[in-house]
């Protein structure tokens, strides 16, 4: 399987760097999954928008249960 390395701040395209700053402010760090998506800033942007929509429309407990169930259904051990 190919390996796509997470990008450091100075390696990321300018559009992704701006999103990194927003993620850093919100979470206190930029998780590697977002750093990896930064290879394609449009993908990172769409993912962040989707996460924001899910976070806005579902209470935290239901959101976590949905993540857990999706992981179990897809046999994801991450």
Model pLDDT for residues 11-56, shown as the tens digit of each residue: 999 999 999 999 999 999 999 999 999 999 999 999 999 888 877 8
pLDDT of residue 77: 76
- For residue 6, CA distances in Å to 1, 30, 46, 53, 75 come to 16, 10, 18, 25, 24
Domain chopping of the chain, boundaries: 9-73
Residues 58-74, mean pLDDT to the nearest whole number: 89
Cβ atoms 38, 7 nearer than 8 A? yes
Host H or E run for residue 65: helix 60-73
The pTM of the full predicted model, rounded to 2 decimals, is 0.76
First to last CA, the chain: 17
Q: Which CATH class is domain 9-73?
A: mainly alpha
Cβ atoms 43, 4 nearer than 8 A? no
């Amino acid at each position: 399987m190919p390996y796509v390395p997470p990008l450091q701040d100075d390696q990321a395209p300018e559009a992704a760097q701006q999103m990194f700053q927003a993620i850093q402010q919100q979470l206190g760090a930029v998780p590697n999954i977002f750093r990896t998506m930064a290879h394609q800033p449009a993908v990172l942007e769409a993912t962040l928008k989707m996460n924001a929509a899910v976070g806005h429309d579902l209470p935290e407990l239901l959101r976590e249960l949905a993540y857990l169930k999706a992981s179990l259904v897809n046999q994801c051990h991450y």
